[in-house]
Amino acid sequence: MATQTVAAHKTAQPEIHYLNHAKGLKSWLLTLDHKRIGILYLISVVFFFIVGGILAVLIRLELLQPGQTLMTADTYNHIFTLHGAIMIFLFLIPAVPAVLGNFALPIMIGAKDVAFPRLNLASWYIFWLGALTMLVGIVTSGLDTGWTFYTPYSTMTSSGVTWVALGVFILGFSSILTGLNFIVTVHKMRAPGLTWSRLPLFVWGLYATSIVQILATPVLGITVLLLALERIMKIGIFDPALGGDPILFQHFFWFYSHPAVYIMILPAFGVISELIGTFSRKGIFGYKFVALSSVAIAFLGFLVWGHHMFVSGQSATAATVFSLLTFLIGVPTGVKVLNWVASLYRGSIWLRTPLLYALAFLFVFPIGGFTGIALGTLGLDVPLHDTYFVVAHFHYVMVSGGLLAFLGGLHYWWPKMFGRLYNEKLAQIAALLIFVGFNVTFFPQFILGTQGMPRRYFDYVPEFTTLHQLSTVGSWILGLGLLLVAVCLLHSLLKGQQAPANPWGAGTLEWTHTGRLPSPHNFERTPVVTRGPYDYHLAEEIFGNGHGDGSSTPAVIPAQGQAQS
């Protein structure tokens, strides 16, 4: 009887986890818990994504008909510039590393936190300091240079370039500190037995991203700081009227900004690897090639910036070299895509929402990659330069790499973040709307570009009306899908069923060695790793009974061997 009373008392004790172990706003604003900092980043980047998304809708509404529809040409310049700057610097760059990486990476390697928790919190405050500094310039004077801040216009315009440049400079420190933290954490805090050949591929993606963040971001910081000094002190670095060289700005800017593409893409590659490995119930085909290709992409990304400058007057030799290097970087990227497809082949496909986003990525991203090869070809880039073909290519790479992977990862780790399951059917409908809406929005822009429609124009000849209208309708479908995602996830927070500890039957440590919600220090004791993260050919009970619907009866998820028999 006494034993039963003690057991009942233990059962009645509330579950202590990272969300409830400390309460109040102060506990969040001063937290050193990497998981809570990930949630703070989540709230932040979603806020800026909403702002950038509203600006995108305004752009498409203006382009619904030829002539002035909603705004003047000058207002349009401000709107599309702010859309690009907000989406790049305040959403795409921090989204996957700062949100999903902060939450999942330490748990995935068996650590209790990142190496420098205070530095981690400081990076979030620096992020907001940079964002608020940008906001000062946006509110007081606007921004009309395009997100690239090209000189000499950016040194002459009366808009808030100085404040925005200083804001980007500050944001760079947040990115550098996050990268530094992740590199030290991966090197020094892996659990016993977790060798480099057993690391989850998401960790490999974040590790390669961190290298790029540390090496490339200082170049952007120096560039925008010099731009601000040019405007304030008139020192003649980029302004040709003062003896400066505007092409020098382009070299500096793209030396960072092309590697910055991989700051957005490499962690997304890691997310896709996790989703395909988990929902195909099969080890990632060619694990070592997929892992090392992330490092190869990080290295080669520093060598191809000149393909953005084929029409800038650089020598034919330099243009040819940059073109060949652009083709070369497609090799490790192609290795990843082919290995993901091979991993799905004859796997036990479990078609859940995260996998839908991964499959959408596998459709969308190669289109962005192939059109990138086209733009890296000298004979094609010259006529397509600064047309809507470039706009479409950019979004097929960035939205697939940034948005689709982020949404897939968010749905995947949502039950571990908040301990709740979302409505699977509603989430799948939202994913389908996003996929359809995205392609209807941006694929017509490839056609517009080949027909000569220049980008950044707020008006166009009547012959382009049908394709612009189709693109605008697609943006409405895309917006509806994103709104449905918000409804689905917010509903899960309020009324969603409690998630089991491992709803997907996944094999990485955050699923196999933590409870429904991770404890404040992740693990009761440090796990010892004796297998790889994708060893789904082992017994089913090792990975738990993932079912994903909150029911008490586990669904049977076939292992790899069952799928092939």
Question: Residue 93: its pLDDT value, please?
Answer: 93
Is 563 inside a domain boundary? no
Exposed, middle or buried: residue 552 (CB in 10 Å: 0-12, 13-18, 19+)?
exposed
What's the whole-number mean pLDDT along residues 404-421?
A: 95
* CA-atom Rg of the chain in angstroms: 24
DSSP structural state of residue 281: T
Chain Cα centroid distance, residue 207: 14
Residue 438 has pLDDT above 60, yes or no: yes
pLDDT at 543 over 70: no
From 382, 218, 201, select the one nearest 277 (Cα to Cα): 201
Residue in the structure block whose two tokens are 């166009």:
460
More confident residue, 376 or 564: 376
CATH of residue 163's domain is 1.20.210.10
152-179 per-position pLDDT tens digit: 999 888 888 999 999 999 999 999 999 9
15 in any annotated domain: no
Q: Which residue has the higher pLDDT, 227 or 8?
A: 227
Give the pLDDT confidence score for residue 526 in this predicted structure. Answer: 87
- Of the listed ranges 344-348, 414-418, 459-463, the least confidently predicted one is 344-348
- Output 549 or 389, whichever has higher pLDDT: 389
Place 544 in a pLDDT band, splitting at 50, 70 and 90: very low
Output the pLDDT for position 13: 61
pLDDT of 8 above 70? no
Number of domains in the chain: 1
| Percent of the residues in the chain that have a pLDDT greater than 70, as a whole number | 93
Take residue 453 and report the two structure tokens written for it: 């429609």
Question: Bridge-partner residues for 420, per DSSP?
Answer: 498
Q: What is the pLDDT of residue 159?
A: 87
pLDDT, position 536: 79
- Examine residue 39 and state whether it is found in any structural domain, yes or no: yes
Residue 409 pLDDT exceeds 70: yes
Is the model's pLDDT at 489 over the cut of 80?
Answer: yes
DSSP structure string for 200-215: -HHHHHHHHHHHHHHH
> Is 552 a member of any domain?
no
E strands along 320-448, which residues? none
User: Is 557 inside a domain boundary?
Assistant: no
Whether residue 9 is predicted with pLDDT greater than 60 in this model: the reply is no
Q: Are 206 and 178 in contact (CB under 8 A)?
A: no
CB atoms within 10 A of CB 232: 10
Q: What is the pLDDT of residue 561?
A: 35
* pLDDT value for 467: 96
Residue 17 lies in a domain: no
Residue 7 is assigned to a structural domain of this protein: no
Averaged confidence pLDDT in the chain: 89
Confidence of residue 558 (pLDDT cuts 50, 70, 90): very low
pTM over 0.95: no
For residue 556, name the pLDDT band (cuts at 50, 70, 90).
very low
* pLDDT confidence of residue 540: 52
* Residue 375 phi, psi (nearest 5): -75, -20
**Average pLDDT for 40-55:** 96
pLDDT at 132 over 90: yes
Which range (37-51, 67-81, 519-533) has the least confidence?
A: 519-533
**DSSP structure string for 126-162:** HHHHHHHHHHHHHHHT---STTTT-TTHHHH--SSHH
Q: Percentage of the chain surpassing pLDDT 90?
A: 71
pLDDT over 80 at 546, yes or no = no
Angle subtended at Cα 41 by Cα 37 and Cα 43, rounded to the nearest 5 degrees = 115
Domain-located, residue 326 = yes
Domain of residue 533, residue span: 25-543
